[in-house]
Amino acid sequence: MQRSSLRLARHGLRQIGTSASNIAGQSLLPATTTYPPQLSSRTRPFHSSSARSSSGFQNIFDIDAPNDPLARPRLAVQKLTDEGFHLTDGLIVPGGVVFLDNRAFLWDVDPPGLDAATGKGKWDGWSKERFKIFETVVPRPEILLLGTGRTVIPPPAFIREYISSLGIQLDIMDSRNACSTFNLLSEEGRTVGAALMPLKHINPRTGYAR
């Protein structure tokens, strides 16, 4: 257990609410040939099914089988604000977040800036190490939604090539649309992962801007 936590920490990740567990040996859900087009967050709210009980939000870890992703209520994003990601179990996650196997992980990243001269994204300091979790998980998601903050900022080729080498389809969009698309695909039962950057530079350990 300690080794798993150390591996996550090296990649800027920390699982929210529970310790890491072995999720190997699960079968891959069947893929469909199409998936819904990108949703516009300006014209409709996030698509999600409420995970609330009659007394309010239900804690996804307060159930009989916390290590079975199929037994846990589906985890989704209720809304996204400058303060962070509001999840359907009542948690507010400051900073970035990775969704994988119906679990949420703190992702200590900032959205890339834009070069005023070229209009291209500034991905200084990024490496494939920040996506290593998708290499170690079994089964891997069929689709990875990469939310790049307020606007769509295409990642450099080495990131796209690395994700593709894992057999994962990478879709890049702004974080709001990535939240909506993740909720919809997850509800449909797709094996989808999401790596979502916050709207602004924020320290996930303190919740304050940096």
Q: What is the mean pLDDT of the chain?
A: 75
Query: Which tens digits make up the pLDDT trace of 19-34?
Result: 333 222 222 222 233 4
Q: Give phi and psi for 99, each to the nearest 5.
A: -105, 125
Query: How is residue 71 annotated by DSSP?
Result: T
- Report pLDDT for 147: 98
Q: Kindly report the number of other CB atoms within 10 A of residue 63's CB atom.
A: 12
Instruction: Kindly list the distances between the CA atom of residue 206 and the CA atoms of 82, 108, 145, 195, 210, in Å, as whole numbers in the listed order.
Output: 14, 11, 26, 20, 10
- Report pLDDT for 74: 87
Query: Which tens digits make up the pLDDT trace of 116-136?
Result: 888 889 999 999 999 999 999
CATH superfamily for domain 2-20+44-196? MTH938-like (3.40.1230.10)
Mean pLDDT of all residues in 72-83: 88
